[in-house]
């Protein structure tokens, strides 16, 4: 009787113990078979490997390239006959923009910077139009007449180099190269360098200041600007910097700059064909 009563609980308990042992032995195999969730890679704003080699060195080379381009452009424009001098001057500046950007991107492309979202198109279009309207208000505040701008030509015809100088250079190539240089290179390098020392907030402010300051200075050295023109350029630089910092992408800033310059070209073209008076060019 004692053996039978002792055996009954063991018979009842043994299957459960064996099942637990089977579950324990199966658990590691199940964990091995379970797919791991992919690890999210950090964008350039958050740091990470994509901007590991970005910082003060790239920022310094970019500033040196900008200075060399400005000096070479001024020399070509001064000592060569026109319009060859102005064309070569512009090309020298484009090279100064493009070379450091290409070298930096060959080293590494900041993660998510080149992504495009449909919202970028909306940002670029809306802010480009708004900034051009603000530029018109500032021009009037500085004593402008508010008349449509036009190119300084005789007989109401467009300048002979209008297609290259305005439609291609000022509307497309110039804005794209400037944004990739001032925002895609200088802004990102300055932000990355300062973020390692002082955090994201200070880095965003410092990078915006450096990028916008160099952007305005480069334009002012090429063409002397009145206070309203300098302020308009500063607003373009600040808005473009904020777009890149807030979205992590560059295309909204590029499109905003294209729209901003393109609107002036369109207005000046219509104003010239209608015989309007000339206004300042900020492209």
pLDDT tens digit sequence for 32-75: 555 555 566 889 999 989 999 999 999 999 999 999 999 999 99
Domains identified in the chain, total number: 1
User: Does residue 160 form part of some domain?
Assistant: yes
Which pLDDT tens digit goes with each residue over 223-279?
A: 888 999 999 999 999 999 999 999 999 999 999 999 999 999 999 888 888 875 444
185, 244 Cβ separation under 8 angstroms: no
Which residues constitute the domain of residue 253? 112-275
User: Does residue 256 form part of some domain?
Assistant: yes
Which pLDDT tens digit goes with each residue over 187-220?
A: 999 999 999 999 999 999 999 999 999 999 999 9
Residue 134 CB burial class (10 angstroms; 0-12, 13-18, ≥19): middle
Average pLDDT over residues 117-145: 94
Cα(34)–Cα(219) distance, rounded to whole angstroms? 58
Tokens of 218: 């480069």
User: Does residue 28 form part of some domain?
Assistant: no
Cα(77)–Cα(81) distance, rounded to whole angstroms? 8
Name the nearest CA neighbour of 73 among 174, 166, 161: 174
User: Does residue 183 form part of some domain?
Assistant: yes
Residue with tokens 């042992």: 21
Tokens of 75: 């020399």
User: Does residue 144 form part of some domain?
Assistant: yes
Supply the pLDDT for residue 224: 85
User: Does residue 47 form part of some domain?
Assistant: no
Residue with tokens 């994509």: 50
pLDDT beyond 80 at 8: no
User: Does residue 98 form part of some domain?
Assistant: no
Confidence of residue 2 (pLDDT cuts 50, 70, 90): very low
pTM above 0.85, yes or no: no
230, 216 Cβ separation under 8 angstroms: yes
User: Does residue 153 form part of some domain?
Assistant: yes
């Amino acid at each position: 009787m004692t053996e039978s009563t002792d055996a009954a609980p063991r018979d009842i308990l043994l299957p459960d113990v064996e099942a637990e042992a089977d579950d324990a032995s199966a658990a590691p195999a199940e964990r091995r078979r379970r797919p791991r969730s992919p690890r999210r890679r950090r964008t350039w704003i958050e740091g990470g490997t994509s901007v590991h080699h970005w910082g003060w060195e790239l920022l310094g080379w970019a500033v040196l390239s900008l200075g060399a381009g400005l000096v070479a452009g001024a020399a070509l424009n001064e000592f060569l006959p026109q319009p060859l001098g102005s064309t070569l001057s512009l090309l020298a500046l484009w090279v100064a923009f493009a070379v450091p950007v290409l070298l930096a991107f060959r080293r590494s492309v900041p993660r998510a910077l080149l992504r495009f979202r449909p919202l970028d198109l909306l940002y670029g279009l809306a802010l480009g139009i708004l900034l051009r309207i603000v530029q018109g208000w500032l021009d009037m505040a500085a004593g402008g007449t508010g008349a449509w701008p036009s190119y300084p030509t005789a007989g109401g015809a467009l300048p002979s180099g209008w297609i290259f100088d305005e439609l291609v250079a000022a509307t497309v190539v110039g804005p794209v190269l400037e944004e990739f240089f001032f925002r895609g290179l200088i802004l990102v390098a300055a932000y990355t360098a300062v973020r390692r020392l002082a955090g994201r907030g200070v880095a965003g402010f410092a990078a915006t200041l450096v990028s916008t300051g160099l952007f305005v200075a480069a334009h002012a050295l090429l063409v002397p600007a009145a206070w309203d023109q300098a302020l308009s350029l500063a607003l373009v630089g600040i808005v473009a910097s904020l777009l890149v910092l807030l979205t992590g992408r560059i295309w909204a800033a590029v499109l905003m700059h294209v729209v901003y310059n393109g609107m002036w070209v369109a207005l000046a073209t219509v104003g010239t064909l209608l015989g309007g008076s000339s206004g300042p060019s900020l492209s």
